């Protein structure tokens, strides 16, 4: 499908909205100069446009499949992976000690999102490897790092994570996979894992699985889980793939979308694995990978939304119907409304993603606790807002097409089918929202209030030039402050959880207004200000309904008995 990587959008966001120059001013990221960033965005854009985008449709129509127990990738995917690997894109923000570029996660987030817009099924493969690289860099022994990190970073090997089991989904503590000490530094891993994205492929020399399992003396629940690195082929004395490990792909899931990305049922039968981190501390190590993935999944949502928007815009510009200035449907008011909403929300959610990544980078570069708190608070918002934007924009794209959107040949429906799972995996959006109002508010709301103060500071400084927008944003931020006050006083967590998702959505809406205002300040007479005014008048007011639901308490949610629910 035709696709144009939004490189200029990222250049503007870096320069005028997110503050990328703050990263380049640190010792850690001093090499991330404007010239280098421009060059990287340009090369990544060409990869997305010329190599990955042509694979979007073929991956959907010719899915990955098992052939006599051997996984066969969609046509063109091996070549696509080679281009990604040879360009160094897998290890963009990995440490330089093992061959990574050491670039900011903020820049890697932009590249990953562009790749997701070009071909989400294929982009999921390097995203999985990047998460594993993060986990191994933070928790693995030096021996494991020396063997695995150079191969993963180069793309010679690919990585996965294995959490879910038939009886253990979001409740990872219920897993039953076991690990027994072999007495030689390895462990025998046994059990079955489901929903393993890119659990196998035919283009990497080795597939490295990170597997959660229990040691014999493990405590029940999440405190008794350990993490193991379990390769498809055991490395020989030279670190090259040797004999096959005792694991296999049992089957592939038949999915609503993402057909080019094989989602595997994995069986481990005493497979050799090596402990990552301390015994019984596997969940903490895996969360290093999960947090990377949550930000990445938010980017997948925005990327899929960008692809859907471009697809719908092209159709609206060409489709002749009814009376309008151009003769095309793009000049019908309702079609224009849909396109404006799509574009405004893509900008807002993209800005939230980059701000979250920016905070992660600033903490890594400076060690500042306030940046760590900011990153932690923004992570669930970035994941939920990014994925919900992707779903909404992709669904709206079908509507722009009208009847043709419901016909598979148009390709419009694929974006929605592909992106729908992003609201489910790496922690459902509901769980993300509960985390926001639960663990992320153990500080009494300090991180939330810091963001609200930042929003109001901008609103006050921009009031003279943009009075209507700043007044709307100020009122929204004050309402958000009052709702935050209410939430942090609720000792009954059900009251918080019942309104968690509406609260997160309200916060995202207000943050979207904040970033649109920053864009308008930087481009006061141009298209950025026009789009910001649209957002402030048409989309920002949604916060009111969200906050009303967020502070309604849990009584209404549990008003019907189980019998009444069944009636």
Tokens of 237: 């004395």
Contact 440, 376 (CB under 8 A): yes
Quote the CA–CA distance of 445 and 447 in Å, as a whole number: 6
Sign of the C-alpha dihedral computed for residues 189, 192, 196 and 201 taken in this order: positive
Residue 308 CA to residue 2 CA, distance in Å, equals: 11
For residue 194, give the DSSP letter.
E
Residue in the structure block whose two tokens are 């405004």: 344
- Assigned token pair, 121: 């099924």
Q: Rounded to the nearest 5°, which phi and psi values hold at 263? A: -105, 115
Per DSSP, what are the bridge partners of residue 271?
A: 189
Cα–Cα distance, 230 to 307 (Å, whole number): 35
* Rounded alpha-carbon distances, angstroms, from residue 212 to 142, 149, 180, 241, 373: 20, 19, 13, 22, 27
Q: Is 478 a catalytic residue?
A: no
In contact, 515 and 347? CB cutoff 8 Å: yes
Contact 198, 90 (CB under 8 A): no
List the catalytic residue out of 86, 426, 456, 478: 426
Q: Which residues pair with 229 in a beta bridge?
A: 210, 274
Helix (H, G, I), strand (E, B) or coil at 237: coil
Q: Helix or strand or coil: residue 159?
A: strand
| Catalytic residue set | 426
């Amino acid at each position: 499908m035709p696709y144009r990587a939004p490189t200029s959008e990222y250049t503007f966001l870096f320069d005028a909205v997110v503050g990328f120059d703050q990263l380049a001013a640190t010792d850690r990221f001093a090499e991330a100069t404007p010239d280098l960033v421009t060059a990287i965005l340009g090369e990544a854009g060409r990869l997305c446009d010329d190599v990955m985008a042509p694979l979007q449709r073929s991956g959907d129509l010719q899915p990955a499949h098992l052939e006599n127990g051997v996984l066969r990738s969609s046509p063109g995917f091996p070549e696509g992976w080679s281009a990604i690997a040879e360009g160094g894109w897998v290890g963009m923000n990995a440490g330089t000690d093992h061959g990574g570029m050491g670039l900011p996660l903020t820049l890697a987030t932009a590249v990953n999102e562009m790749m997701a817009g070009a071909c989400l099924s294929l982009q999921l493969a390097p995203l999985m490897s990047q998460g594993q690289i993060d986990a191994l860099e933070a928790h693995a022994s030096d021996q494991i790092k020396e063997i695995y990190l150079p191969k993963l970073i180069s793309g010679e090997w690919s990585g996965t994570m294995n959490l879910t089991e038939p009886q253990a989904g979001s409740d990872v503590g219920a897993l039953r996979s076991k690990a027994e000490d072999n007495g030689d530094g390895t462990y025998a891993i046994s059990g079955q894992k489901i929903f393993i994205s890119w659990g196998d492929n035919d283009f990497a020399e080795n597939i490295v699985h990170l597997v959660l399992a229990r040691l014999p003396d493990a405590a029940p629940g999440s405190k008794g889980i350990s993490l193991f690195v379990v390769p498809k082929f055991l490395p020989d004395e030279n670190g090259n793939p040797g004999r096959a490990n005792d694991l296999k792909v049992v089957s592939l899931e038949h999915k609503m979308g993402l057909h080019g990305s094989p989602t595997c049922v994995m069986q481990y039968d005493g497979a050799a694995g090596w402990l990552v981190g301390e015994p019984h501390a596997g969940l903490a190590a895996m969360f290093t990978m999960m947090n990377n993935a949550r930000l990445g999944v938010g980017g997948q949502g925005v990327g899929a939304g960008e692809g859907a928007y471009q697809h719908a815009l092209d159709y609206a510009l060409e489709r002749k119907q009814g009376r309008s200035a151009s003769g095309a449907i793009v000049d019908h008011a309702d079609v224009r409304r849909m396109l404006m909403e799509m574009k405004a929300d893509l900008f807002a959610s993209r800005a939230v993603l980059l701000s979250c990544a920016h905070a992660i980078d600033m903490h890594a570069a400076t060690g500042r606790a306030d940046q760590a708190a900011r990153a932690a608070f923004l992570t669930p918002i970035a994941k939920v807002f990014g994925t919900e934007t992707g779903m909404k924009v992709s669904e709206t794209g079908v509507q722009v097409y009208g009847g043709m959107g419901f016909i598979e040949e148009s390709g419009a429906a694929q974006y929605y089918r592909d992106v729908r799972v992003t609201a489910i995996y790496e922690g459902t959006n509901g769980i993300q929202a509960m985390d926001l109002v639960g663990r992320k508010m153990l500080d009494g709301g300090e991180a939330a209030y810091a963001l609200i103060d930042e929003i109001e500071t901008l609103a006050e400084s921009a009031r003279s030039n943009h009075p209507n927008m700043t007044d709307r944003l100020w009122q929204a931020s004050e309402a958000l402050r009052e709702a935050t006050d209410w939430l942090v006083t609720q000792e009954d967590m059900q009251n918080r959880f019942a309104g968690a998702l509406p609260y997160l959505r309200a916060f995202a809406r207000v943050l979207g207004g904040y970033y649109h205002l920053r864009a308008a300040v930087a481009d006061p007479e141009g298209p950025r200000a026009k789009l910001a005014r649209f957002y402030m008048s048409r989309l920002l007011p949604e916060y009111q309904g969200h906050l009303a639901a967020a502070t309604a308490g849990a009584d209404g949610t549990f008003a019907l008995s189980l019998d009444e629910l069944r009636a």
